[in-house]
Amino acid sequence: MNHCHFNDWTVEHWLQVRQTTNAWWNGELQRSLLPIVLTDEPTTSMPAPKPFGRGLFADLSISEEQMVDQIAWQLQQQTYLGDGFPWVNMSCSGAGVLAAMTGATLHPESYDDIWFRVDVPKPITELSITFDADNPWFKRLIKIGQLILERFEGRVLVSSPDIGGVMDVLSSFRPAESLLFDLYDEPEHVLRVISEIETAWHQCFDLFNNAMSPVNPGYTAWCGIYSDVPYYMMQCDFCYMISPQMFDTFVKPTLARSAAKLDRAFYHLDGKGQLPHLPSLLEIADLNGVQWIPGDGNPPTGDWPDVFETILAEGKFAQVMGAPSNLLNIISKTNRQMHMTSGHWHTDDLQRAQAYLKQLTDTCHTHRATR
């Protein structure tokens, strides 16, 4: 496991990350992954007016170079423990940014939030979606990513943007209530536009990642799981509002096609309203894993062992978000120590971080000894 300050991170560290995570993806690693980022107190002033994120990205008075200066300032404060590594989360452009690259308008609602919508939605029968590679927001993302790779000479991993789920992108053009009626009234046109968005999605994904190659040391999405081959965290927040039958008609086929095209694929299962879709989701052969997010007002991820047991029992991987205690709880309650990972946990408490890592090691050793 790592214990390395950003300034000391080298190509050899990436080789170790690749070796460890490939063993995990291949089902050979006898433990779960636990990436931790220890954050030090800054010794200099922040160069940008705001931290790197959605507010900075949407502010066109801030240049891409200024944003990379801010990223560099933040990286200087980081030490990587466990399975942690240096990466930049390009979800700075907002969730479902493909909408802005296919005709919707990017609206910064607050510093932390960006939404996409059209002023006058077209009827689904008249709607057609195509990807615009010359879109200024897409070009801004590529320039930021390329500047990061140039500045740090491939020592930092640049994630894919948060492209969004196909139906979520569609709901930027057809507000949720209208889209729900479309499912009943114009299903053929909904499926037509879904196909168009799916094509645009893969164009965006491929063009962005090709622009980062060959310097980028791997692939990741906003969830921060490392892969040495292309992968993504797929999603469909819209399916919270539809039945399992409609999920199978409008959502599952596009997830299955995308999972087959990607080398590795996860799904972001967000909220209790999506749990009815889990059995169908787990039938997708090319889906590697599921990230379960209980949603606001619900118990933390560590209190849902039955959900994770369902995922793991089908031979899928699982991402357990939140503090490492959640991952440790799931390991204990499911009696499984493999095929899971947490998200990157940021802390300024070294002792607490080391205690979690020791607990993970001890727990996995105990489970192996008692099998």
Instruction: Write the pLDDT tens digit of every residue in 11-27.
Output: 999 999 999 999 999 99
Per-residue pLDDT at 54 exceeds 90 = no
CATH fold of the domain at 49-58+89-268: TIM Barrel (3.20.20)
Residue 365: pLDDT over 80 = no
- In this predicted structure, the answer to whether residue 278 has a pLDDT above a threshold of 80 is yes
263 and 229 Cβ atoms separated by less than 8 Å: yes
CB 291 within 8 A of CB 233: yes
pTM recorded for the entire structure: 0.95
Instruction: Break the chain down into helix, strand, coil percent, rounded to 5.
Output: 50, 15, 35
Percentage of the chain lying above the pLDDT 90 cut: 88
* pLDDT grade for 367, boundaries at 50, 70 and 90: low
Distance CA 104, CA 91 (A): 17
Least confident of 45-54, 144-153, 300-309: 45-54
Q: pLDDT for 201-234, tens place per residue? A: 999 999 999 999 999 999 999 999 999 999 999 9
Burial 52-67 (b: 16+ CB within 10 A, else e): bbbbbbbbeebebebb
Sequence ranges of the domains in the chain: 49-58+89-268
Would you list the DSSP string of 231-298?
EEEEE-GGGGGS-HHHIIIIIHHHHHHHHHHSSEEEEEEESGGGGGGHHHHTT-TT--EEEEE--TTS
Q: Region 230-255: what's the mean pLDDT?
A: 97
Q: Which pLDDT value is given to residue 371?
A: 53
Predicted confidence (pLDDT) per residue in 171-209, tens digit: 999 999 999 999 999 999 999 999 999 999 999 999 999
